[in-house]
Amino acid sequence: MQSRSTVIGDVSAGRRSRWSAPHINLYIAVWIGYCALILILPVRYGRLESFTTAVSLLLWVLVSAVVAYGVHAVFGRGADQRRRYVAGRPLETSDVVRIVYIGMILSAVGFACLFFDRVVLQGIDYSRGIAIARELWRRAGESREGVSSVFSVVGYIIGFSFFCSIAVAQLHWERIGKAARRVVIFGGIVLVMANSLLIGGRSIVLVQLAAIVAIGGFRKSLGLAAFPGRVGRVFLIGGALFVLGLGYSIYVFGARAAAGGGLPALYVEGTLPWLGGEPTDAFFALERLPEALADTAALGTLAGAYLTHSFGTFESALEFGGTPGTVSFIFVRELLAKMGLIAAPTEALAFEGRFLSLPGSLWYDFGWVGFYVGAVVMGVLIGVVPAVLSWSRGGGIAICIAMTLLLTALLAPMVMAMDILCVPFMVIGFGLVDMVHRLRGGGGNWLVVGRRVWLSGSQPMPVAADGRYELRGSLDPPAGIVR
């Protein structure tokens, strides 16, 4: 026996030797949950075009899912026979920890820059609550041309790198120590909540929860548990995160109700029509509950409507027409306009402040042809996610692209992911962390973590062009390797 340095990752411990399709199953499950929430909530969306809306969304999901499974089958064909290994130079455990700290440090510095810009330079007063602070920030942005300061630019560019740290830590949770885990758990929660409070919104919480689910899908595809740890602990942590997200959403709506000087129930009744819905008899029955519980239930209903009102928005778009529009990639276009790279849009933004689902946006901008072509494109993009993850030298960019594709799919019932403020900057954050890591350790495959193994001299590993040893084939170690 002789010792050689090879690249076995934790994925080799998985039971499955080829890619399955949990990422596609997650996509379908999200749509099922979305529809179930619409049925459960004491809110009614539209009537004139509700049947058309429901049928068209069902067809869109069916087309995209069938295409996704088909593309996945083509890319995964013969995986067992060819024994395709995850190839490329892997991360070492120290690399994973370094990536975690790089992302967290960049995010902390970025948040400090944003806080300085918002509070000191712009003079936004948060002492009156996040709802009023958000409105003051919005008006300040509308009254000026360009960005507020260089601190704002730097803050946004580096401030969302924590998405990269949390993703990589979750992917390789079993390989990092307790110190790094604590940094991810506590640092991640602090950064997510601090940035959410600074902008007075809920989108960062929503995207972070979706990203955790997406990485869980990647782990499941590799034969690992979607969420590491014992089942009871996973459910406990998952429940805590759900309660935290729901509680924060209720807090935001409560703050906005208080800023308006009205009761929570009246605020909800007034907001639901703006979201394209109307309260049902079940909603008014909540008034029979004790006051505190009734207010919480009413705000909770609005939190649910926040996730599902894209159905009502799409129904309204179908009812009033007015196509073609310009709602797709609106945030990216507005951001480029603020940077002076493109002309600022002159037309009024349709459905401003409300969500229009990905299929709804495609219909509004490109009609029924674009609607169904978009379903096919969505299916292709979901189907190639495992292939993107398998790039041997993709590094953080491969995980970023794959996660962005899956985030787009998971958030499709609610909104086009790239139109959420933090998603484009999440992509930039991944790129920054990847660049810093490459300066230190070069390119590699972030999907696996390497370790030293014993290799039989009669079955030497193939030598890569750069002198490193690589595994190619299934996710199980070949004969001759003793772990």
Phi then psi dihedrals of residue 44, to 5 deg: -115, 125
What pLDDT sits at residue 180?
93
Q: How is residue 356 written in tokens?
A: 């229009």
What pLDDT sits at residue 347?
58
What pLDDT sits at residue 201?
84
d(CA 105, CA 108): 5
Nearest Cα to Cα of residue 308 among 62, 45, 90, 6: 45
What pLDDT sits at residue 338?
66
Kindly calculate the radius of gyration of the chain based on its CA atoms and give it in whole angstroms.
24
Dump the DSSP string for 289-308. S-HHHHHHHHHHHHHHHHHH
d(CA 55, CA 284): 29
Q: Are 445 and 89 in contact (CB under 8 A)?
A: yes
What pLDDT sits at residue 5?
35
What pLDDT sits at residue 327?
75
pLDDT lower than 50: segments of the chain? 1-19, 78-85, 452-483
SS3 content of the chain, % helix, strand, coil (to 5): 65, 5, 30
pLDDT digits (tens, 9 = 90+) for 141-158: 777 777 788 999 999 999
pLDDT digits (tens, 9 = 90+) for 148-186: 889 999 999 999 999 999 999 999 998 888 999 999 999
pTM greater than 0.75? yes
d(CA 359, CA 371): 6
Q: Are 310 and 261 in contact (CB under 8 A)?
A: no
Cα–Cα distances (Å) from 350 to 52, 145, 313, 429, in that order, read 21, 21, 10, 30
Q: How is residue 165 written in tokens?
A: 């740290």
What pLDDT sits at residue 323?
65
Q: How is residue 241 written in tokens?
A: 């995160």
3-state secondary structure of 478: coil
